[in-house]
């Protein structure tokens, strides 16, 4: 299977993906191998059901939201390898002088914001925040405690008084947080 995946990726495609995402050629080839192993239909695309077979996502409390991120801008419910790599680029560690458009601090914050913005209206309201908090902690915290956390979070982040958190407010709240480190996965050393 390793040979199959290597043969299907052309040098021009690898180079274009490198420039767009910042991944090295060897990382791209190994991620392509992983992509093709998930592609049970062998048609060069993945659907939600393919992602549901990834053990790391199955145990992640936000696994469903992460899977949704792969399909956020694709309406036919299938993604190709390049689309797959664009989403993964958000999790690539930022290297000095090697930040790509897909891997900036703002892009990482935008990705995190979308995890909370369940209805896609560019605002996080109390119900959305409660829903995501519940996904993350399950029944380990009481509903009352979760409500208190949500209320306090909105009170601290909401600067315009609309009882919602905008992307700008979200960014301001996380201003001193090392998002670059917290939203990075070391890919295929």
CATH number of 1-89: 1.10.238.10
Structure pTM? Answer: 0.75
Per-domain residue ranges for the chain? Answer: 1-89, 105-189
Name residues whose C-beta falls within 8 Å of residue 135's C-beta, 6 or more positions apart in sequence. Answer: 61, 62, 64, 65
Give residue 5's pLDDT. Answer: 43
Residue 119: count other Cβ atoms within 10 Å of its Cβ: 10
At the fourth CATH level, the homologous superfamily of domain 105-189 is EF-hand (1.10.238.10)
d(CA 149, CA 127): 12
Mean pLDDT by runs of 10 across the 189 residues of the chain is 55 92 90 91 87 83 84 78 88 64 79 90 96 88 93 96 96 88 61
Please tell me if the domain spanning 1-89 has the same topology as the one spanning 105-189: yes
């Amino acid at each position: 299977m390793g040979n199959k995946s290597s043969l299907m990726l052309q040098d021009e495609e690898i180079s274009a993906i490198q420039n767009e995402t910042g991944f090295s050629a060897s990382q791209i080839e190994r991620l392509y191998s992983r992509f093709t192993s998930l592609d049970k239909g062998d048609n060069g695309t993945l659907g939600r059901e393919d992602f549901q077979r990834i053990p790391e996502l199955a145990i992640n409390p936000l696994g469903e939201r992460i899977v949704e991120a792969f399909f956020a801008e694709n309406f036919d419910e299938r993604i190709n390898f390049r689309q797959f790599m664009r989403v993964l680029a958000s999790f690539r560690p930022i290297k000095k002088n090697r930040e790509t458009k897909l891997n900036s601090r703002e892009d990482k914050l935008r990705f995190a914001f979308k995890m909370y913005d369940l209805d896609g209206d560019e605002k996080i309201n109390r119900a959305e925040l409660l829903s995501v908090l519940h996904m993350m902690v399950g029944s380990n915290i009481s509903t009352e405690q979760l409500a208190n956390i949500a209320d306090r979070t909105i009170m601290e982040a909401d600067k315009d008084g609309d009882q919602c958190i905008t992307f700008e407010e979200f960014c301001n709240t996380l201003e001193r947080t090392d998002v670059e480190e917290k939203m990075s996965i070391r890919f295929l050393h």
